Structure 1
Amino acid sequence: MVEKTINMALLFYRKEVAELLLDSISLMRNRKIPNSKSLNPMKSFFLSCIIVSCTFSLSGQEVVTKDYSAYILTPPAPKAPRINGATVYGVRPGNPVIYRIPCTGERPISFAIKDLPEGLRMDREHGIISGSIKNPGSYSFLIEAENSAGSDKREMNFKVGDKIALTPPMGWNSWYIHYDRISDQLMREAADQMIKSGMADYGYQYVNIDDCWMVKHKTKDPEIGGKTREKDGTLITNLRFPDMKGMTDYIHEKGLKAGIYISPGPSTCAGYEGSYRHEEQDALTFADWGFDFLKYDWCSYDKKAGGKTREDLKKPYKKMWASLVGLDRDIVLNLCQYGMGNVWEWGAEVGNSWRTTGDLGLEERKGLPGFYSIGLRNAEHWPYAGPGAWNDPDYILIGWVGDARKMAEGTPTDLTPYEQYSYMSMWSLMAAPLIFSGDMAKLDPFTLNVLCNHEVIEVSQDPLGKQAKIVRKTDSDFVLVKIMIDGSLVVGLFNFMDSEAPVSVSWEELGISGSHIVRDLWRQKELSTLENLYETMVPPHGVQLVRIWLKK
């Protein structure tokens, strides 16, 4: 079969392509990955694609190999401390604070805070702030971090009031990799990996269970079936989750937060117990267990809604929202109802974020990858996003992810490196929740380079909370622009074409004039000072993400 592949390549493709096929097969047979820096970029990319897309049975074992190291743009973090992530944090009066200072640099790092608000304490070794603040108000303080290589400091602001999720939530969700295989053990391992991989050092903090932790209806499997609630109505977990409080304590000890999932209907989308007629009781249970985030998925509520008016669509979320805001614990509410009834127009009244479209994992690729079509629909709703209220176009599906239609085990993403940069750039520009849903146990350097660029994350976590808007869209490209709290603009120039192409944006389109400094955010370097126009070559389905400041 291998020889036939080569013959076909020789017949229908250029000699160079056949040689690359030979190279890739040889590499896979010998279990070796090429040193991509020794290859020219086009050859390296094509060779990587061949290796990713070809799976051979070698000595009875299936092997899939990839190496995207030639496409890593994010510079490595310095050895000295660098404090990352949002500069603002929202909490309700008297409710628990769990905040792990996102900070890169060689460990050990010693943390100190000047003017720490009353009621809070800090673990100096791990940089975890906990406690509570009784009185409403805005509390600013200085965080300092120091190690043997240097130091860093940054001002932080805790806003104590009725709003939480003042910047888009960042974290991980189990669905697109574990589906109905999720367990307590996998959740704990995901929390471990969030620390070990360094994701937590960039601001990722939520470790969220999706569906399938409850008892399933209509199953004979003793591990997940059985009685769904206690006599008093309290939810029962399936046997894969023997100790919810112990699990959230484990997550919280690391300075991270824990998320959970349920449906307002009688059952979840996968057929497990829902919250119907137990909403207030379940909210109390989630708080008692120690959860900080709730994804509330429409699913079977169709059978109970009674109609599709705005009030019908709002009703279950309004009920759960009222149950959550009265608790002595902050729980971010994520509405998952797929954009019905123009949810972006009213979602902020009953939650903190809302899905604007169907599942991205089910979106078919039509020339362009599905995140483009989902993202462009989400981009239309920019006027409705802001602190505490975010448009949600679904999760970041890169690295190893499972086929959503089959609820399958994970395989490497079929997105090219260029497409992955576009994906992360678009989500950051749109102030979308940055929730990764790939395999935390198989994070590779390229995936981490996409997820963990502090200048790109700064775009997402900007405290002004503005979502980017489209300033131009053609058949070949489009441009997204986001205003930042310092008055600078972040511009994403996206190429729809299947080949490299020039994309430009004029100062007139941006509403600016005069000399401006242009900085490449992925590469973290200044490009030039320009007067009227920025133009660049953009890779196929790729992006150039720049930040533009007025030259002073």
Structure 2
Amino acid sequence: MRRLIAAAAATLTLLCTGAAAVVAGPAAPAAAVENGLARTPPMGFNNWNAFGCDVTEQLIKDVADLFVSSGLQAVGYEYVNIDDCWALKERDPETGRLVPDPVKFPSGIAGVAGYVHAKGLKLGLYADAGTRTCAGYPGSLGHEDLDARTFAEWQIDYLKYDNCYNESDGSQADYLRRYTAMGQALTRTGRPIVYSICEWGTSQPWTWAADVGNLWRTTGDISDNWSSVRSIIATNAPLYPYAGPGHWNDPDMLEVGNGGMTATEYRTHMSMWAMMAAPLIIGTDLRGASAETMDILTNSEIIAVDQDPLGVQATVVSDSGGLMVLDKPLADGQRAIALYNSTDTVATVSVPATETGLRRAPAYRLQDLWTGAVTQARTTIEAAVPAHGTVVFKVRPSTPHARTAPAVTVGGTASTLIPAPAGAGTLATVATHRGPGTLRDVRVDIAAPPGWTVTATSPARTRSLVTDASLATAWDIGVPEGATAGRYPFTVTATYRWGDGRVSATSTELAATLVTAPVDGRRHLSTITPFGSVNGQGPVENDRSNGGPAAEDGNLITIGDAVYTRGLGVSAPSEIRYYLGGRCTRLTADVGIDVEDGTGASARFVVYADDTAVATVTAAPGAPVALDADVTGAAWLRLVMTGEPGGEAVHGDWAVPVLTCGEAGPADPVQPVERVLFSFEDGTDEWTIANADGGGSVASTSLFHTDGGQALLARAPVNGNWFGRTLSEPLDLGDGQVLKVDLRTTGAGSSGEIAVQVGDDLSWCQGGQWTWTGAGGSRTITRALDEISCPAGVTLDRDRVRGVWVFLNGGGDVYLDALRVG
């Protein structure tokens, strides 16, 4: 749990979070705790993601009723779990026992358990391995036996055991001690209670927790956004050696249906949790869930993969360039094969069947677990997977079957486009036959958006395709005059005959990006979509250094002692191309070698207006060099960086590149405009810690800064704390859409969250969690104000913000600067 709740108008309580998990190399897993429970991953509901502290007896009863009436129980969901805030703030003074809040739970927890059990379901409860829970209610540290007996008397079936206010020294030995104490206490009660260890992956629980509990969190808390899900998959997927019946890696609860992701992303969320043999704990308000949400949550084929009695977490077969293949053996002898695409464009993901656990066979039967389609492949399992999508096949060896359709993949790429009259672009498609036998009369067609034209410039038909052969076609795209910038869909369909003359078709949607000339004004170049780019290592990075081969793996751009929040991180040889349409006049930037480079090499930075070099700078490691280029009237802008001979991989930066277009002048503000709220130039700007007994401190520092010459040094305790202040006068965020803050860590990375207080009663609103790893890493944390949620009945009034807080976790020094709104 990470979200913090206001205990009273001016009292802040601690957010429960953890440092990002550091993945250890595979090792022999410990023996599972012998309680006979959770032989398959638990399935159920938890109120926290959707309701936070707003949990009541009626809500839990409503969920239990819905489990039965909606079919959730029928497909395997059984645990209805109560999270934090169910108790009174103090224990019973005579017995020392935890006391259910009589307003929220008039029947008591035991009464709710009776209601849930009568439905054939089970009840879960929340406690904490510290002196207090994350929302400030009594913790169980030092009360393990009493609390375990209480839970057993109430007929609890599942315990989520959190990690706030833990008084820990941060050692793995302490984590093992605290979590073992409750595990043994539960065992002594004699009641079967599933034990869920929630310490956020801080102490690498996969290396020890199988002897203690039934499941353990491997990461910080999930958020309802793609970045969070992608990050958690990357951390949890490699931990497959540690999971098995009765002991599971837990990448946190499901966000399906909470509104922050697309249906494609939610299907990936569900698919990858199933492949990773993760607990499936619903975290949405089921009372208003859409039909689409329920369809995802009740997909019996995907659930069967998760609940397979063999109890094996999928092996990562391959993981490269944002594409991952997972292979999970099933008890009936089949395999579940997931083709996962974390990138932002459609991609063809494939794996030879012999590289999975499948035995060699004349053919393989593929059942798509989302569409239900059944096809047969000859040697390769493949699909065109949409951006952020996952295709899951159930696969078994077979012999070619005359009535089973062949597997055909249709993929492709689209170039970046510009508008008419110069408007044109290209699109390349590939239709590949992966099934047995021969396809006949193969034809590829494209459905374009209204007003667009698509013309084949190479053959779009072929009389036949044998197994593993492809039909590649090039197309010219005509862009209609007046088309606006954006992404446009093109549906590519391959039609073909197979078998005894049957006709089938396979379709894929590609998206082409249209760029237009920049509008009037001065803009950071990192906010303008380039026409195209090539880069020596990995992608060109926006507002961070190049880092390495993966996307978004760099830090804040740093040249010499200067740290920049805007710019382009590149690796030689590099070229970035922009369409200007003759509308722009000037480009300014600081250029240089990023401090991450370490090669000692120099690099040459050249700006081209059309084909003319209008600015050239050679930069050595050290201070940045200013560059000023006249691009008046140019249709095209090119930024080229090359390294010295033998130093081609040098990492460089185009820092704060500002493009001036139209009638804009040097005095016009640079868009997008951001307003700095706290810059710490005069000290700590009265920032402090929210929880005096939670540890941590603040001080002024000049060792890191992105705005001015000073920043805030926050010494974060292992358990984390909130850093910020309550304001004497309301702060007006105006029409701002995002909050930003620049961070640099000294340890392994950062987990955190942003919160604000609003109104005269200082109501607490929070959200927008983040997690990243990497010693000494730095980032600009950007979180939409829409990601911040308030308690029931409270509105986030952006004109009356009365407090701003940042949660920092994991121990060690964290440098923080330029909290701003934009």
Partner of residue 437 from structure 1, selected from 259, 283, 286:
283
User: How many angstroms apart in 1 are the aligned matches of 2:357 and 2:144?
Assistant: 48
- Alignment correspondent of 2:195: 333
Asked whether the 8 Å contact 1:466–1:482 carries over to 2, the reply is yes
- Alignment correspondent of 1:483: 329
User: How many angstroms apart in 1 are the aligned matches of 2:365 and 2:219?
Assistant: 36
Say if 2:66 is the partner of 1:193.
Answer: yes
Task: Assess, with a 3 A threshold, how the Cα gap between structure 1 residues 415 and 341 changes in structure 2: closer, same or farther.
Answer: same
Asked whether the 8 Å contact 2:43–2:76 carries over to 1, the reply is yes
Say if 2:356 is the partner of 1:356.
Answer: no
- Alignment correspondent of 2:239: 381
* CA displacement 1:488-522 (0-9 Å, x = unmatched): 11011011232322211112321442221111111
User: In the comparison of the two structures, how many residue pairs are matched?
Assistant: 362
Partner of residue 132 from structure 2, selected from 262, 267, 272:
267
- Alignment correspondent of 1:523: 371
User: How many angstroms apart in 2 are the aligned matches of 1:496 and 1:433?
Assistant: 22
User: How many angstroms apart in 1 are the aligned matches of 2:93 and 2:158?
Assistant: 23
Query: How many Å apart are 1:286 and its aligned residue?
Result: 0.6
- Alignment correspondent of 2:253: 395
- Alignment correspondent of 1:22: none
Asked whether the 8 Å contact 1:399–1:442 carries over to 2, the reply is no
- Alignment correspondent of 1:322: 184
* CA displacement 1:160-211 (0-9 Å, x = unmatched): x742110000000010111111111111111111112111110000000000
**Residue correspondence of structure 1 range 496-535 to structure 2 within 5 A:** 496-512=342-358, 513-514=360-361, 515-528=363-376, 530-535=377-382
Which structure 1 residue ranges, 5 or more long, are not aligned?
1-160, 217-226, 401-412
Say if 2:14 is the partner of 1:164.
Answer: no
* CA displacement 1:291-332 (0-9 Å, x = unmatched): 10000001111x2x3x23322111111111111112232100
Query: How many Å apart are 1:469 and its aligned residue?
Result: 1.7
User: How many angstroms apart in 2 are the aligned matches of 1:252 and 1:237?
Assistant: 19
State the AA in 2 paired with 1:184. E
User: How many angstroms apart in 1 are the aligned matches of 2:381 and 2:260?
Assistant: 31
Identity of aligned residues (%): 40
Asked whether the 8 Å contact 1:197–1:443 carries over to 2, the reply is no
**Residue correspondence of structure 1 range 239-278 to structure 2 within 5 A:** 239=102, 240-242=104-106, 243-278=108-143
SS in 2 for 1:544: strand
Partner of residue 538 from structure 1, selected from 385, 388, 397:
385
State the AA in 2 paired with 1:195. V
Mark the structure with the bigger radius of gyration.
2
Asked whether the 8 Å contact 2:230–2:342 carries over to 1, the reply is no
- Alignment correspondent of 1:371: 229
**Residue correspondence of structure 1 range 21-420 to structure 2 within 5 A:** 162-216=35-89, 227-239=90-102, 240-242=104-106, 243-301=108-166, 303=167, 305=168, 307-361=169-223, 368-400=226-258, 413-420=259-266
- Alignment correspondent of 1:492: 338
Task: Assess, with a 3 A threshold, how the Cα gap between structure 1 residues 282 and 453 changes in structure 2: closer, same or farther.
Answer: same
Asked whether the 8 Å contact 1:176–1:437 carries over to 2, the reply is yes
More contact order relative to length (CA 8 Å, sep ≥ 6): 1
- Structure 1 stretch displaced more, 232-241 or 243-252: 232-241
SS in 1 for 2:189: coil
* CA displacement 1:34-87 (0-9 Å, x = unmatched): xxxxxxxxxxxxxxxxxxxxxxxxxxxxxxxxxxxxxxxxxxxxxxxxxxxxxx
User: How many angstroms apart in 1 are the aligned matches of 2:353 and 2:47?
Assistant: 42
User: How many angstroms apart in 1 are the aligned matches of 2:143 and 2:240?
Assistant: 34
SS in 2 for 1:394: coil
TM-score by length of 1: 0.64
User: How many angstroms apart in 1 are the aligned matches of 2:385 and 2:233?
Assistant: 19
- Alignment correspondent of 1:473: 319
- Alignment correspondent of 1:464: 310
State the AA in 1 paired with 2:87. M
User: How many angstroms apart in 2 are the aligned matches of 1:334 and 1:450?
Assistant: 24
* CA displacement 1:246-300 (0-9 Å, x = unmatched): 1110000000000000102110011111112211010011111111000000111
SS in 2 for 1:361: coil
Partner of residue 448 from structure 1, selected from 267, 271, 294:
294
Asked whether the 8 Å contact 1:430–1:467 carries over to 2, the reply is yes
Asked whether the 8 Å contact 1:482–1:489 carries over to 2, the reply is yes
User: How many angstroms apart in 2 are the aligned matches of 1:500 and 1:459?
Assistant: 25
State the AA in 2 paired with 1:419. E
State the AA in 2 paired with 1:524. G
User: How many angstroms apart in 1 are the aligned matches of 2:242 and 2:141?
Assistant: 29
State the AA in 2 paired with 1:424. M
Asked whether the 8 Å contact 2:256–2:297 carries over to 1, the reply is no
State the AA in 1 paired with 2:339. L
- Structure 1 stretch displaced more, 339-348 or 161-170: 161-170
User: How many angstroms apart in 1 are the aligned matches of 2:355 and 2:390?
Assistant: 18
Query: How many Å apart are 1:341 and its aligned residue?
Result: 1.8
State the AA in 1 paired with 2:247. A
User: How many angstroms apart in 2 are the aligned matches of 1:203 and 1:534?
Assistant: 29
State the AA in 2 paired with 1:295. K
Query: How many Å apart are 1:486 and its aligned residue?
Result: 2.1
Which of the two has greater strand per residue?
A: 2
State the AA in 2 paired with 1:532. T
Asked whether the 8 Å contact 1:455–1:524 carries over to 2, the reply is no
User: How many angstroms apart in 1 are the aligned matches of 2:248 and 2:268?
Assistant: 20
SS in 2 for 1:435: strand
Q: Which portions of structure 1, spanning 4 or more consecutive aligned residues, are displaced by more than 4 angstroms?
A: none
Which of the two has greater helix per residue?
A: 1
Query: How many Å apart are 1:336 and its aligned residue?
Result: 0.3
SS in 2 for 1:547: strand
